């Protein structure tokens, strides 16, 4: 987790759970200037290069509420 936070791009992350409270995936909300910067980060991230993350879906996100 420290490695993910080190670059300052990860805003929040955590496990996706099924109904039995078992981890079935993970989710991150990250911030980058553009898609190219995100792709460069992903291509060099150990979770990607070591195949920890095998299926990655990228979706735009707009904050509506923030504490």
Does a structural domain hold residue 7?
Answer: yes
Query: How many separate domains does the chain show?
Result: 1
Residue 26 lies in a domain: yes
Residue 38 included in any domain: yes
Would the pTM count as exceeding 0.95? no
Q: Which residue has the tokens 């300052």?
A: 8
pLDDT in single tens digits along all 67 residues of the chain: 566 676 789 999 999 999 999 999 999 999 999 999 999 999 998 889 999 988 999 999 999 998 8
CATH number at residue 8: 3.30.70.1060
Q: Does 33 map to a domain? A: yes
Residue 18, domain extent: 2-49
Residue 9 lies in a domain: yes
How would DSSP label each residue in 12-49? EEEEEE-TTS-EEEEEEEE--SSHHHHHHHHHH-HHHH
């Amino acid at each position: 987790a420290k490695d993910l936070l080190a670059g300052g791009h990860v805003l929040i992350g955590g496990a996706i759970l099924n109904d039995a409270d078992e981890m079935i995936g993970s989710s991150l909300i990250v911030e980058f200037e553009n898609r190219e910067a995100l792709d460069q980060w992903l291509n060099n991230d150990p979770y990607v290069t070591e195949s920890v993350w095998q299926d990655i879906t990228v979706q735009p996100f707009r904050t509506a509420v923030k504490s």
